[in-house]
Amino acid sequence: MDKTILVVEVTAYSSGNHYTIKKHAETLDKASEYLVALKNLNEDKDITYRLFNEFGQFEVDKIERVVDDNK
């Protein structure tokens, strides 16, 4: 099954939010890498970045790699 994860820039205006797709990725790892880079470079308090998939927005507070010790 193909899946696409979008990295979306959300700009807050007094009249509402504006959404811009900044990147699409085939894996959560790749999308997360780009998300972290954008967040680290962002200095504008009115701009945030979010991840979306086909079901809606991801609620990601902390991104970290999980290692499977059973391998």
What's residue 27's pLDDT?
86
What's residue 34's pLDDT?
92
- Where in the chain are the domains? 5-57
Residue 51 near residue 57 (C-beta atoms within 8 A): yes
Tokens 């999980």 sit on residue: 66
Which pLDDT tens digit goes with each residue over 2-40?
Answer: 588 899 999 999 999 999 999 999 888 898 899 999 999
Burial of 2 (0-12, 13-18, 19+ CB in 10 A): exposed
- The confidence band for 1, taking pLDDT boundaries of 50, 70 and 90, is very low
Nearest-angstrom CA–CA distance, 22 and 42: 13
> Strand, helix or coil at 26?
coil
